[in-house]
Amino acid sequence: MDTISVTALSFTEYVMSGQRGRISILGEQRAMYLAEDPRMCGFYNPVRDAMRRAVSSPTPEVEMREAVLAANRNGQLRAFEELAEGFLPWLRKARVTGVPVSSARWTAGDLTLKVRPHLGLRLANGSLAAVLVYVKEAPLTREAATVGLRILQQTMDETLPGGEPWVLDARRGRVFRLGKRTNLGKLDALIAAESTGYVTHWRLSA
């Protein structure tokens, strides 16, 4: 059978959706990835692009405002306003500047994840962070964020060598990091199981 290829963030959202929600979110994701119309998967792209510019701009508010003012799809205006309200206060406190990041691929069985950090950051102390930016309305759970963090960590040599993995829940201005006491063996086992589940649900929803 063909390998299934989605983004690391899509897989993270699947993990977060719980047993009842997984079939529904899988159906939505499958429709998005298989759609011929590229606009299906571009709803949040303008605001993520604005965040990317904002981290290196002397006027990040202007960058975010431009994205809000350009919102023209159903639901975009409210979503972009909420994202700006959460992201800008976090950015002011974070004291970071943007750096380039690359993309990578992570594979488990028949599932391939495209790992594309939305932001590369240099902190005030000189350290680096590669960031997946979560933008949906439902708050990101720590369990789901930890899955995304581990996948980022395993591809860091390709995306941002020497960097630390972060997942940012942009609406709430909350950054998740891997805890020092994280049991990586158990986490990897969880991710392997979730990967198998994702492939099975994907194929059953065909």
Instruction: Please give the average per-residue pLDDT across 190-197, as a whole number.
Output: 92
* Cα 149 to Cα 147: distance, rounded to the nearest angstrom: 5
Query: What CA–CA distance (Å, rounded) separates 154 from 130?
Result: 12
pLDDT tier for residue 206 given thresholds of 50, 70 and 90? low
* Among 103, 100, 126, CA closest to 114: 103
If residue 77 lies in a helix (H) or strand (E), which one and from where to where? helix 76-94
3-state DSSP assignment of residue 23: helix
Task: List pLDDT tens digits, range 49-76.
Answer: 999 999 999 999 999 999 999 999 999 9
Q: Over the stretch 111-152, which tens digit does the pLDDT of each residue have?
A: 999 999 999 999 999 999 999 999 999 999 999 999 999 999
**Residue 87 and residue 95: Cα distance in Å, rounded?**
13
pTM recorded for the entire structure:
0.90
Q: DSSP string of 144-163?
A: HHHHHHHHHHHTHHHHSTT-
Please report which helix (H) or strand (E) contains residue 112, including its range.
strand 111-115
- 40-67 burial: b if 16+ Cβ within 10 Å, else e: eeebbebbbebbbbbbebeebeebbbeb
Grouping H, G, I as helix, E, B as strand and the rest as coil, residue 135 is coil
CA pair distance 149, 98, nearest whole angstrom: 19
